[in-house]
Structure 1
Amino acid sequence: MAGIAGHGIANANEQREAALEQRVNELERQLHELMADVKAQRAAPPAMAPAVAASAPLPKATATVGGKPMIQETTITPGANPNTTFRVGGFVKADFMATRTGDGQLADGATGRALYVPSQIPVGGKSTGTDYDADAKFSRFNLGIDTVTDGGDKLGAFFEMDFFGNALGTQVSTNTYGVTLRHAYAYWNGWLAGQTWSNFMDVAALPEAVDFIGPTDGVIFVRQSQLRYTDGGFSVSIENPETTIIPNGGGATVQSDRGAIPDVTARYGWKGAWGSFGVGALVRDLRIDRLATSTTGALKDDTIAGAVTVGGKWNMGSSDDLRYQLTLGSGFSRYIGLGITGDSGLDSDGSLDTLDGAAGYVAWRHMLTSKLRTNVMYARSQYDNNVVATGPSATKSVQSLRANIFYSPYPKLDIGAELMYGQREIESGANGDLMRLQFTTKYSF
């Protein structure tokens, strides 16, 4: 029995060894076939490669939506429509400035300490020294959402904020400021609804300045809510109305938020390799409607006002361009230079007397090198006040001259310096001036 058992075990071992040898042989055969395939692929002619690549799907990084690269497979706005792109941008800007006023002193915390405000130039005071200010509150960020439908319709929205709000902390320690809304609008094809630059304004003609605005004395500069329609070079809008009034006999300008008729604007522009040129028109209904008080009678009146503007940018070769604007009209001061004076004066009988005026600027830009450029600009506006209504302290004219230089060692990084001189004259003949040296650094993203 023991011999029979030993003989059975020996047969089983022989069978296992035979099966193992068969598997090893099969693996060797498959390996030889795989190596032969690899050699054949390496030996294939190069002409076959493009045909294979052409039949393969494009990688996700090269796909586009509405002409823009798709940088991710899943949208950053998961609740958005299909074919939606998302963008973020802005810049960090720091300003350092020394300001000298010759006929009075700018108040602590005045807006004119952070940017040039022509109406705040002191007049008729004593000469003062120099004030130094520094801040980063003009830094900003923005968000954009754009959609292109399968049918070719375009829609989207845009938000932009900066930090030029009221101070939330003192300069002693925190220097914090509130976030402020600059732009907030939605668009659908040629329609736009929300807050952005006034349609009366030519943004493309604005020169480059270290100051927040630049040619403030003569430039149209307004952001407000509106409903706008654009078709090619033509655009028309209805915009938020607001009337500014100089009290009878003079004094600080007051605002009237009355009226049922919006400001109406229309613009037509042309552009090409030579530059751009635009013509705009503005029609307004100035209105006051106030109940009587214990010291003043009831006020109720309205009048029509309007203005026209022309301006643009002229490319003078590869290294120079000229930017300009001229605005003429009546009752349009709110749109010029952060409200240099009132749109109207208040007569003794409580009626509105619109103020005629003219405003404009010219700016020359020269590229010294690919990284170094300079701008020189002059701006002015003047107003025909009815002194009986406005008093002798109403602003008659403002003007400024400035020159700057910018150095961009890398794309999106700007280092600039600017010297400006501004002057304000009132109806009595008194005047005041302001001189400012300002440095800035700005990194855009």
Structure 2
Amino acid sequence: MTTKMLTFKLKTLFIACACSFPMMSFAASNTDAELQQLRDEVKALKLLMQQYAQQQQSNAQNLQQVQAQSNITKMNAESTSGLKIETMRLKTKAGAELTLYGNVRADASYQAEGGSATRLYNQINTVPLAGNSESSDRLKATLAATRLGLDFKTSTPDQDISAKIEVDFLGTNDALRIRHAYINYGNWLVGQTWSNFAVPDYMPETIDALAYVGGAVKRTPQVRYNHKLSQITNLVLAAEDSKDESSNLRLPALTARLNHQFNERLLLSARAMATEKKTDADTETAWGIGLGTKFDVTDKTMIKADYYHVKGDSSFVSWSNSGFLTNANKEIIATNAFDSITIGITQQFNPQFKGTLGYGYMKADQNDTYINALPDKTKANKDLWQAWANVFYSPIKPISLGLEYVYGEREAFGPAPNGSQTGSDNRVNAVAMYNF
């Protein structure tokens, strides 16, 4: 029964009572039957009011129970996810949304044969030739690859502005260094991030933080423009500072990358680069092309491959010989050209286990002018190769444990005094990461 209907009945009954009482006082014609009827109506009114009061009390109790349960649910939600919600809503002084991420990373390596540098990461291009001060049976460990990053986003009436700062400790003597630091507004990016030419997207997965032959982990200061040609194709243009210590920078390197998604499983990337190499007395144009692909064979099996051909530059693709050589007058007398390729397959065995098999190869052109101008032929390489196998285990989501075996060789242009022309890299790598 609604409150409106009850109010109407109460008003009607009270009006009836008000009219009846005068009649009882002044009308001698009222009978005992009429008085009894009035008493019965009063009793009915009392019963109706009691029922209404009970119903209101029950409704109030039910409402209190619902509110109490709602408060408990809210408190439980806040206790389990409140920290995450607060983290997502962090604001900077200028009002930007802020997200913190990174990892704590411990690396270790047992080196049966390899380079003499204290760093445990890849140095295949400089490993000693056999019998020449080889660095054997060494255990190395570091936490220098531990990473910390901040993502920023500011909403504007036009569109969002985002930025990133990411650092690790792989600078000189484990000093803090900038990995990424850039601003992104619409199609434009300004700052330091992965080179538009030497991208790491198509390298097979490794434990080694510097990757293996055939890949590149180059980050450059740049101005980049991204243009979407269609839903499946985009073009990226950039002017980059390649940070080539052998060249006096006068003009930035120009790079272009075309990405095309053939279907849900196949992605292809074609890249090009052109840059000026300059000394105090001479200039030369260096250039390169690259082609990378990712192919999801199945939902659990992925193939990655990357190819480069570069002439006159050693600043973009890792492990290559010097891009050019000069004489005593700083004139450029010869340039180096090389081809490199890396290919690998990654298999996700189950939600906790995955593994990768990879191979990389780099071959320099047989340029006699360049070879004859080398001051030390044992320090420049005719070719390099590395093969590796790894497995990653994630017992719970934030933790990742990895184990990897890698073997590789370099063949120098000239032999050492003992006649050796080949050096080996033979290591077992391990890593433990907590991602946050």
Q: TM-score range with shorter-chain normalisation?
A: 0.7 to 0.9
Q: Does 2:104 align with 1:92? A: yes
Letter in structure 2 aligned against 1:71: I
8 Å Cα contact 2:108-2:120 kept in structure 1: no
Q: 1:426 to 1:234 in 2, by over 3 A?
A: same
Residue aligning to 1:296: none
8 Å Cα contact 1:224-1:239 kept in structure 2: yes
Q: Does 2:325 align with 1:345? A: yes
Structure 2 residue ranges without an equivalent (≥5): 1-50, 79-83, 229-233, 416-420
Per-residue CA shift, 1:106-163, capped at 9, x if unaligned?
43xx26x320122221125155531101111111110010123233x12121000111
Please report how far the alpha carbon of residue 442 of structure 1 lies from its aligned counterpart in structure 2 after TM superposition.
Answer: 0.9
8 Å Cα contact 2:199-2:218 kept in structure 1: no
TM-score when scaled to structure 2? 0.75
Secondary structure of 1:92's counterpart equals strand
Q: Does 2:122 align with 1:121? A: no
Letter in structure 2 aligned against 1:224: T
Please report how far the alpha carbon of residue 231 of structure 1 lies from its aligned counterpart in structure 2 after TM superposition.
Answer: 1.7
Residue aligning to 1:15: none
Residue aligning to 1:139: 146
Q: Does 2:393 align with 1:374? A: no
Kindly indicate which of the two structures has a greater share of residues assigned to strand.
1
Q: Distance in 1 between matches of 2:388 and 2:127?
A: 16
Q: 1:75 to 1:416 in 2, by over 3 A?
A: closer
Aligned Cα root-mean-square deviation (Å): 3.0
8 Å Cα contact 2:115-2:425 kept in structure 1: no
Letter in structure 2 aligned against 1:236: L
Please report how far the alpha carbon of residue 418 of structure 1 lies from its aligned counterpart in structure 2 after TM superposition.
Answer: 0.4
Q: 2:182 aligns with which of 175, 182, 185?
A: 185
Structure 1 residue ranges without an equivalent (≥5): 1-31, 54-58, 63-69, 168-176, 244-254, 290-299
Letter in structure 2 aligned against 1:148: S
Equivalent runs, 1:71-220 vs 2, <5 Å:
71-72=85-86, 76-81=90-95, 84-101=96-113, 106-107=115-116, 110=117, 113-124=119-130, 125=132, 129-151=136-158, 153-167=159-173, 177-214=174-211, 216-220=212-216
- Number of residue pairs aligned between Structure 1 and Structure 2: 356
Letter in structure 1 aligned against 2:385: Q
Please report how far the alpha carbon of residue 96 of structure 1 lies from its aligned counterpart in structure 2 after TM superposition.
Answer: 1.5
Q: Distance in 2 between matches of 1:336 and 1:423?
A: 18
Q: 1:305 aligns with which of 277, 286, 289?
A: 286
Per-residue CA shift, 1:84-124, capped at 9, x if unaligned?
421111111111211122xxx743xx26x320122221125
Q: Distance in 1 between matches of 2:87 and 2:170?
A: 37
Residue aligning to 2:27: none
8 Å Cα contact 2:87-2:99 kept in structure 1: no
Equivalent runs, 1:189-268 vs 2, <5 Å:
189-214=186-211, 216-232=212-228, 233-243=234-244, 255-268=245-258
Q: Distance in 1 between matches of 2:297 and 2:87?
A: 45
Q: Distance in 2 between matches of 1:91 and 1:163?
A: 12
8 Å Cα contact 1:413-1:444 kept in structure 2: yes
Q: Distance in 1 between matches of 2:300 and 2:89?
A: 41
Q: Distance in 2 between matches of 1:235 and 1:262?
A: 16
8 Å Cα contact 1:423-1:431 kept in structure 2: yes
